[in-house]
Chains A and B, each alone.
Chain A
Amino acid sequence: MDITSRTGLPRLGRTSATRENLAGWLFLAPVVAILGLFLLLPILMALWVSLTSWNGQGSPFTGKVPFVGLDNYTGLFTRDDLARENFMVSVRNNIYYVGIVVPAQTVLALGLALIVNGRLLKGRTFFRSAFFFPSVTSSVAISVVFLFIFANSGAVNSLLGFFGVSGPAWFSDPRGVLHLLLGGLGVVDLDAPPAALTAGGPFGLSWWEWLSGPSVAMCTIIMLVVWTTSGTFMLMFLAALQDIPVTLEEASVLDGAGRWQRFRYVTLPLLKPTVFLVLTLGLIATWQVFDQVYVMSQGNPAKTTLTPAYLSYRTAFRDFDYGSGTAISFVLFLIIVVLALLQRWVMRERAADPGVRRRTRPRRS
């Protein structure tokens, strides 16, 4: 086909071109209006509000609202007060959350995809659907189910009971698992942590607090999210696996490659782009965790499930400090953008690996 057909229909004279110009804009107008009014405009409004100390009374766009400049932003990092402590605690919590959820869901998704992709497997459609199903259900409904499952005398604790383990009071346990691990190994005494670590640390939190690990309560949210999101990523891996030509694997088998070698040197390099995609999507999504925190813990116990997304909501809608709440959300935005760009930059160098060759499909025309 010629070039014109790729960019649009061939022009049928000048009146028709004018008409097409008009039609184009008319077709696009509703979407542009909605996105402009409820996405672009609000972001601009919020940028303004983040520079004020609006408390929700009246309109934020009158002269009466105090203008505070960048105070809401700098305060999060420099002012020695509760607001900074909350923000730093929420960032710490989210770092541990991302650090566990992203690798765990990627590995689980890849593992499930590899098993489901087995050519001789019976019932693969069923298993694929089973693993994918949690991803499509309501996050709120699932959070309710997990509240029940992890309740003190709930399903998980009675299951642990079968093995003679008495499970923790999941949702009211603020102890950090890294602390517990260090204490369990006898490295530190939990009742009297080393003074060198408790004496000070960056941004108003002591090193000891930074090194807490996710709390037991946060672990329930981590498990819930890994469980719900792995299915979606499994489908992405599955699609990529099905693009790998069978002949390539057969060839490697004839060359005497074992199962692990085949995975390590044939399959994995071909999956690299998908791995990067899954990691990036995971990173972006995990910094935004909100629904589960809202339903399951509201940031409790002892702020150990507080995340920047939830803190931003709470600061604005519960404490009526819209300026700080908005500032937190923009800082979160910045964190996500910077990390996504960083990841892309790191991976671009690796993705340039010549081993990455995708089978190109002939375009149907």
Chain B
Amino acid sequence: MRTNTARAGSARTARRPGERGGLVSTFTGYAVLIFFALVFLYPFVIQIANSLKTEPDAAAHPLSPLPGPLSLAGYDRVFFGTDLPLWLGNSLLVTIVVTVGRVFLDSLAGYALARLRFRGRRAMFGAIVAVIAVPGVVLFIPKFLVLNQLGMYDSYAALILPVIADAAGVFIMKQFFESIPVSVEEAARIDGAGVFRTFWSVVLPMARPALITLTIISFQGTWNEFPHSLVAVQSPELFTLPRGLADLVSGSLGTGTQYPLKLGAAVLATIPVAVIFVIFQRHFIRGANEGSEKG
């Protein structure tokens, strides 16, 4: 409460000198904002609207936000005419396993780098930072080579294992663990709790905000991941959703442009991350408010 009134006060003082611009600038400001909001959001309106149109309708009125006749034919063909349900299942499986794996393994490593003293810690931290700097695009062929050599190519293991730990996540967790006061851990350790026990039941519960962040980043990154599936698998039964979608578009469908179908599949690929995004925003804003109130 106190912060709010304080902020309102400072806003008022800031307004007085700036008011020369007055109404006109406020109005232009909003006009610009609304224009850009349309530019940034209308493509999604087009995407959803046209996935619900008939094919001739989508071709004739691509801009219209309302389907002429509402048609579920696109979705009908997505679910019963393509392998999309399978890809959806694969994407869910891979995303969940990778996210759980990353959150756990990255936390373990981040904790070790932040708190535990062992030989070679600095060198390992340096190596992990170096790994973050490697551009992913350079790894397409190398990843294929190693999967091929290990006999893992074209399997679920190939989709999951190479991405189940990531250096950036380790870095995030390490930074967070360093910001937690050591005193709590000291108490647990003096009480005789082992290292893992301390980590698991004392430190991890305190790391909830960082864990949520890492979960969201991992989920979003893995769900959207495309090039990795391109070099890890080739059988359509193992396609993830982005891979299957790319395959649909590059034209194994046969005749016609089939835009309602393609856009419907794209909608389905977008929905889970959109849902997470809404939740993430709430968390983000609440976290920011809590911080400003404490500070």
Binding site for B on A (CB under 8 A): 1, 5, 7-12, 17, 19-25, 27-28, 30-32, 34-35, 37-39, 41-43, 45-46, 49, 59-61, 112, 115-116, 118-121, 125-127, 129-131, 133-134, 136-149, 151, 153-155, 158-159, 227, 231, 246, 249-250, 253-254, 259, 284, 287-288, 290-291, 294-295, 298, 309, 312-313, 316-317, 322, 325-326, 329-330, 332-333, 336, 364-365
- Give 17 A-B pairs besides A9-B186, A28-B108, A309-B140 with Cβ atoms closer than 8 angstroms: A20-B116, A20-B195, A23-B116, A24-B117, A27-B195, A27-B199, A38-B146, A42-B143, A115-B29, A130-B37, A133-B41, A143-B249, A145-B47, A145-B263, A148-B62, A312-B140, A316-B140
B32 engages A9 (CB within 8 Å):
no
User: A326 to B97, alpha carbons, bound, how many Å?
Assistant: 30
Give the Cβ gap from A21 to chain B, nearest Cβ, in Å: 4
Given that A42-B143, A46-B145 are contacting pairs, would A137 and B189 also be in contact in the complex, using a CB cutoff of 8 Å?
no
Give the Cβ gap from B262 to chain A, nearest Cβ, in Å: 5
A1 — which chain B residues lie within 8 A by C-beta? 182
In the complex, whether B1 has a CB less than 8 A from a CB of chain A is no
Given that A133-B40, A138-B223, A144-B249 are contacting pairs, would A59 and B113 also be in contact in the complex, using a CB cutoff of 8 Å?
no
In the complex, whether B119 has a CB less than 8 A from a CB of chain A is yes
Contacts A/B (CB < 8 Å), 26 sampled? A5-B182, A8-B115, A10-B186, A12-B190, A25-B112, A25-B118, A27-B116, A31-B106, A34-B165, A60-B145, A61-B149, A118-B29, A119-B14, A130-B36, A130-B37, A144-B245, A144-B265, A144-B266, A147-B249, A148-B46, A149-B43, A151-B257, A155-B46, A287-B135, A312-B137, A365-B181
Chain A contact residues: over half helix, strand or loop, or mixed?
A: helix
B62 — which chain A residues lie within 8 A by C-beta? 148-149, 151, 153-155, 158
User: A127 to B164, alpha carbons, bound, how many Å?
Assistant: 34
Residues from 1 to 50 in B contacting A, C-beta threshold 8 Å? 10-11, 13-15, 17-18, 21, 26, 29, 32-33, 36-37, 39-41, 43-44, 46-47, 50
Residues from 52 to 100 in B contacting A, C-beta threshold 8 Å? 58-60, 62-63
User: A329 to B145, alpha carbons, bound, how many Å?
Assistant: 14
A309 engages B137 (CB within 8 Å):
yes
B242 engages A322 (CB within 8 Å):
no
User: A141 to B194, alpha carbons, bound, how many Å?
Assistant: 47
In the complex, whether B227 has a CB less than 8 A from a CB of chain A is yes
- Nearest residue (CB) in A for B167 is A35
Partner of B139, one of A34, A43, A131, A154: A43
| Total inter-chain residue pairs, C-beta < 8 Å | 284
- Nearest residue (CB) in B for A116 is B33
Partner of A246, one of B14, B165, B170, B199: B14
A138 engages B137 (CB within 8 Å):
no
Contact with A along B236-254 (1 / 0, CB 8 A): 0000011101100110000
**Residue in B36, B179, B181 with the greatest tally of chain A CB atoms within 10 Å:** B36
In the complex, whether B136 has a CB less than 8 A from a CB of chain A is yes
A38 engages B143 (CB within 8 Å):
yes
B270 engages A137 (CB within 8 Å):
yes
Given that A5-B182, A30-B165 are contacting pairs, would A284 and B115 also be in contact in the complex, using a CB cutoff of 8 Å?
no
Partner of B195, one of A19, A284, A294: A19
Give the Cβ gap from A7 to chain B, nearest Cβ, in Å: 7
- Nearest residue (CB) in A for B109 is A31
Give the Cβ gap from A291 to chain B, nearest Cβ, in Å: 5
B117 engages A313 (CB within 8 Å):
no
A32 engages B246 (CB within 8 Å):
no
- Nearest residue (CB) in A for B37 is A130
User: A364 to B179, alpha carbons, bound, how many Å?
Assistant: 8
Give the Cβ gap from B130 to chain A, nearest Cβ, in Å: 10
A59 engages B149 (CB within 8 Å):
yes
Given that A127-B37, A253-B18 are contacting pairs, would A333 and B135 also be in contact in the complex, using a CB cutoff of 8 Å?
yes
Contact with A along B188-218 (1 / 0, CB 8 A): 0110001110010000000000000000000
B277 engages A288 (CB within 8 Å):
no
In the complex, whether B273 has a CB less than 8 A from a CB of chain A is yes
B32 — which chain A residues lie within 8 A by C-beta? 115
Give the Cβ gap from B279 to chain A, nearest Cβ, in Å: 12
Give the Cβ gap from A34 to chain B, nearest Cβ, in Å: 4
- Nearest residue (CB) in A for B178 is A6
In the complex, whether B155 has a CB less than 8 A from a CB of chain A is no
Contact with A along B253-264 (1 / 0, CB 8 A): 000010100110
Report the 8 A-B pairs with minimum CB-CB distance, sorted nearest first: A24-B118, A42-B142, A27-B112, A38-B162, A46-B142, A24-B116, A288-B137, A141-B266
**Residue in A1, A5, A254, A330 with the greatest tally of chain B CB atoms within 10 Å:** A5
A43 — which chain B residues lie within 8 A by C-beta? 134, 138-139, 142
User: A25 to B190, alpha carbons, bound, how many Å?
Assistant: 22
B112 — which chain A residues lie within 8 A by C-beta? 23-25, 27-28
A291 engages B113 (CB within 8 Å):
no
B274 — which chain A residues lie within 8 A by C-beta? 133, 137
B137 engages A148 (CB within 8 Å):
no
Give the Cβ gap from A241 to chain B, nearest Cβ, in Å: 14
A21 engages B149 (CB within 8 Å):
no
B63 — which chain A residues lie within 8 A by C-beta? 155, 158-159
Given that A34-B164, A59-B149, A120-B26 are contacting pairs, would A49 and B262 also be in contact in the complex, using a CB cutoff of 8 Å?
no
A136 — which chain B residues lie within 8 A by C-beta? 220, 273, 277
